[in-house]
Chain A
């Protein structure tokens, strides 16, 4: 069914009985051309673009849980292209362009809202750094506007401008930045892939990767063996365990990142606000809840929940930035498992095994990358060559030291991002 206003109109008069499940629940076949390990945002978008851009449809997406159960359903929904380093810059720029056409492409409302993103700065040195970043964004063809203190006040009158430790000097506004409905992104891509013939197989955990003579031949799963000509790993926080099945170690540590949402409120925060010095960022969902998050717990974890010290830190940062938030009640908090790479940039590449591909290392930036990651990964799997926008996301950059992309400038080693 193609969604449009007429369908809504028709269903309103026929008791809403015509809506059908938007993807099938197929039994796994014995053999596929391509098996994707992981049915998260990146896996689903990869399947979608393999079908749409490359005409490949004999594909299975194997998901351990259910569609939308991983990080695609537990993030803070921010979409932006304010990257700085060559490699990241063109990739996220491409991703934002795909976001802008995503709803008509998928025929699915992902509630993409370009409400503007403001990164605050608190010193002259930080202003210089943001001027440089803004120029890099403009040179890439994206948008950036430097706001002074009064400029920020026009957008965000409610923040504390005269905090003793972090007085607000100004902000870098990225007007095309914003948010999207995270679950809808998963559902939209799942529906699009399914309509083109991709099998989405849920509750199917991969337990082994079959390799013979240096070539991948299939996977073992909790629902039986599946043969495949190509196998693509895209398992985010679980990348380490999946890669271990192929005898690989990855330059990845898995950490928990927490996020929070308050009870629904009337419209109060119009933008995405990022308070880097407090490791704090916030936006308001269309349902009214204030959605915000902070920093990692900083020790490796596979528990999809965080510990209390970081919760306290995030609440303190929130109160520092916008004292009015103290009146809001936190409804719930949750944690997602981040695949942290040493330089804070992702990996989309072949592996030493013929026909086996790897896509991981998204750190805490995976959501906004969903369209371009799938696009580039599909291109790599289909053609064997890296896509231009993701050519620098090489696995071997840690062996050679060439092309390491430390966007934050904190140093290219674990535990610094």
Chain B
């Protein structure tokens, strides 16, 4: 059972209170972009075994979207943070580094 803390309303809840929304920090490409960029945005995924950043929504709570750092191999949640950012905050990265030295995910490390 995952336990997540919503950074918007501060409530901690079990995973049944939330809904997963897939990979976070996607760079969006729209009309006028190349086919490869558009495909990358829509379909291509990091799909890592280990540290992963992903979107969650507090569906049975405040209803807001937020982001979470989680390990896909052990299902450990490293932390959650607001969605209004293009990269994970430093304190989340530090927490991950303490537990998974040498981790990297896309351009983040």
Interface on A for B, CB 8 Å cutoff?
Answer: 238, 240-241, 249-254, 298-303, 307-309, 342, 398-400, 413-415
Contact of A413 among B16, B35, B42 (CB under 8 A): B42
The verdict on B15 contacting chain A, using a C-beta distance below 8 Å, is yes
Q: How far is the CB of A205 from chain B (nearest CB, A)?
A: 13
- Asked if B43 contacts A300 (CB within 8 A), the reply is no
- Asked if A252 contacts B75 (CB within 8 A), the reply is no
- A sample of 18 cross-chain residue pairs with beta-carbon separation below 8 angstroms, ordered by A number, consists of A240-B49, A249-B44, A251-B44, A253-B45, A253-B47, A254-B72, A298-B19, A299-B20, A300-B20, A300-B22, A300-B23, A300-B47, A300-B54, A301-B75, A302-B49, A309-B16, A413-B42, A415-B21
Interface on B for A, CB 8 Å cutoff?
Answer: 1-2, 14-16, 19-23, 35-36, 39-40, 42-49, 52, 54, 70, 72-75
- Asked if A252 contacts B45 (CB within 8 A), the reply is yes
Q: Complex: how many Å from CA A110 to CA B43? A: 37
Q: Chain A contact residues: over half helix, strand or loop, or mixed?
A: mixed
Measured between beta carbons, the chain B residues less than 8 angstroms from A240 are 45-49
Contact of A414 among B22, B40, B73 (CB under 8 A): B22
- Asked if A251 contacts B43 (CB within 8 A), the reply is yes
The 10 closest A-B pairs by CB, nearest first: A240-B47, A299-B20, A251-B43, A398-B43, A302-B49, A249-B44, A399-B39, A302-B73, A415-B22, A309-B16
Contact of A302 among B45, B46, B72 (CB under 8 A): B72
- Asked if B47 contacts A398 (CB within 8 A), the reply is no
Assuming the contacts A250-B47, A253-B47, A400-B35, asked whether A303 and B75 have C-beta atoms less than 8 A apart, the reply is yes
- Asked if B52 contacts A300 (CB within 8 A), the reply is yes
Q: Complex: how many Å from CA A413 to CA B41? A: 11
Q: Complex: how many Å from CA A389 to CA B74? A: 39
- Asked if B72 contacts A398 (CB within 8 A), the reply is no
Measured between beta carbons, the chain B residues less than 8 angstroms from A298 are 19-20
B40: nearest residue on chain A (CB-CB)? A249
Measured between beta carbons, the chain A residues less than 8 angstroms from B42 are 342, 398, 413
A251: nearest residue on chain B (CB-CB)? B43
- Asked if A399 contacts B20 (CB within 8 A), the reply is no
Q: Complex: how many Å from CA A323 to CA B27? A: 48
Measured between beta carbons, the chain A residues less than 8 angstroms from B45 are 240, 249-253, 414
Measured between beta carbons, the chain A residues less than 8 angstroms from B49 are 238, 240-241, 254, 302
Q: Complex: how many Å from CA A217 to CA B82? A: 45
Further pairs besides A249-B45, A251-B43, A398-B44: 11, Cβ < 8 Å: A240-B45, A298-B19, A299-B70, A301-B72, A302-B49, A303-B72, A307-B15, A309-B14, A342-B42, A398-B43, A399-B35
Most chain B Cβ neighbours within 10 Å, of A250, A253, A413:
A253
Contact of A307 among B23, B40, B75 (CB under 8 A): B75
Q: How far is the CB of B92 from chain A (nearest CB, A)?
A: 18
Measured between beta carbons, the chain A residues less than 8 angstroms from B72 are 254, 300-303
Q: How far is the CB of B100 from chain A (nearest CB, A)?
A: 14
Q: Complex: how many Å from CA A14 to CA B35? A: 67
Q: Complex: how many Å from CA A360 to CA B73? A: 20
Q: Complex: how many Å from CA A238 to CA B73? A: 12
Q: How far is the CB of B77 from chain A (nearest CB, A)?
A: 11
Q: Complex: how many Å from CA A241 to CA B52? A: 14
Q: How far is the CB of B14 from chain A (nearest CB, A)?
A: 8
Measured between beta carbons, the chain A residues less than 8 angstroms from B21 are 415
Q: Complex: how many Å from CA A399 to CA B35? A: 6
Q: How far is the CB of B62 from chain A (nearest CB, A)?
A: 19
Q: How far is the CB of B54 from chain A (nearest CB, A)?
A: 7
Q: Complex: how many Å from CA A337 to CA B74? A: 13
Assuming the contacts A399-B35, A399-B36, A415-B20, asked whether A254 and B15 have C-beta atoms less than 8 A apart, the reply is no
Measured between beta carbons, the chain B residues less than 8 angstroms from A250 are 44-45, 47
Q: Complex: how many Å from CA A248 to CA B2? A: 30
Q: Complex: how many Å from CA A371 to CA B48? A: 29
Q: Complex: how many Å from CA A230 to CA B71? A: 34
Contact of A249 among B1, B46, B54 (CB under 8 A): B46
Measured between beta carbons, the chain A residues less than 8 angstroms from B23 are 253, 300, 414
Q: Complex: how many Å from CA A161 to CA B74? A: 41
Q: Complex: how many Å from CA A109 to CA B71? A: 41
B45: nearest residue on chain A (CB-CB)? A253
Q: How far is the CB of A294 from chain B (nearest CB, A)?
A: 15
A313: nearest residue on chain B (CB-CB)? B16
Q: How far is the CB of A91 from chain B (nearest CB, A)?
A: 21
Measured between beta carbons, the chain B residues less than 8 angstroms from A307 are 1-2, 15, 75
